[in-house]
Amino acid sequence: MRIGELSKATDVPVPTIKYYLREGLLPAGELSSPNQASYDAVHVRRLRLIRALTELAQVPVAQVKEILESLDSDDIPLHEQIGRAHRALTPTRRLTTTPEARATAESQVAALITRRGWTIEPEAPALATLIDTIAAMETLGQPHLSSYLDAYAEAVEHFTQLDIEAVTTRPTRDQLAESVVIGTILGETLIASLRLLAQESISAQRWKNR
């Protein structure tokens, strides 16, 4: 198909497609004449992935490029690919907390990881986010929330088994890696919206007249 048809199929404007081509996010089409290229299903699929990353997960274009390059490389072990995608997807929102609250949170998280038997690299960005979040709970006068840490971690392990189950059905390594990236992004929105709905339902039953 031509670039105009690719634009229609994916609902991405032609100038945006040209920008992605220039930035190397989208592989070049096959030249059908000196100034006309032809695109196929691979481009449609890749464009949708780019949009999911930029629009849903709000990953900056430079990092999208990194994720796609690592998806396209056969030399990078799958676990390392997943790590790169995670690094790009981890929110970097931070809240200034007191040094005391941070120190307490750090030891709480270290103890949690030991109790769960998790294998975590010390530079995992989600580790910093978790520590910040627990320190923020303390700083915001909600230290009771962190006493549920083990219960949350246990429920999350249950999710993660589902995450892994859902992606391992993919037949090829490429599809598995793509599925992990999409599952990580969309899974987060899925869980967050299910949680708000479940909260709404329980709150309606429990606090309707309070």
Residue 8 identity (one-letter amino acid): K
Beta carbon of residue 34, minimum distance to its own copies (angstroms, whole number): 33
Of residues 170-189, which lie at the interface with its own copies (CB under 8 A)?
Answer: 170, 173, 179, 182-184, 186-189
Among positions 119, 122, 171, 172, the unique one binding its own copies when judged by CB under 8 A: 119
Beta carbon of residue 21, minimum distance to its own copies (angstroms, whole number): 20
Residue 36 is given by DSSP the state: E
Among positions 35, 92, 151, 171, the unique one binding its own copies when judged by CB under 8 A: 151
Of residues 25-54, which lie at the interface with its own copies (CB under 8 A)?
Answer: 45, 48-49, 51-52
Contacts of 145-152 with CB under 8 Å at 24 or more apart are 146/105, 146/108, 149/108, 149/112, 150/112, 150/115
The DSSP annotation for 47-95 comes to HHHHHIIIIIS---HHHHHHHHHHHH-SSS-HHHHHHHHHHHHS-----
Q: Applying CB under 8 A, does 123 fall inside the site for its own copies?
A: no
Beta carbon of residue 29, minimum distance to its own copies (angstroms, whole number): 20
Q: From CA 87, how far away is CA 142, in angstroms rounded?
A: 28
Of residues 77-116, which lie at the interface with its own copies (CB under 8 A)?
Answer: 77-79, 82-83, 86, 89-91, 93-96, 113, 116
Contacting range for its own copies; rule: CB under 8 A; set: 13-21, 27-35, 67-75, 197-205: 197-205
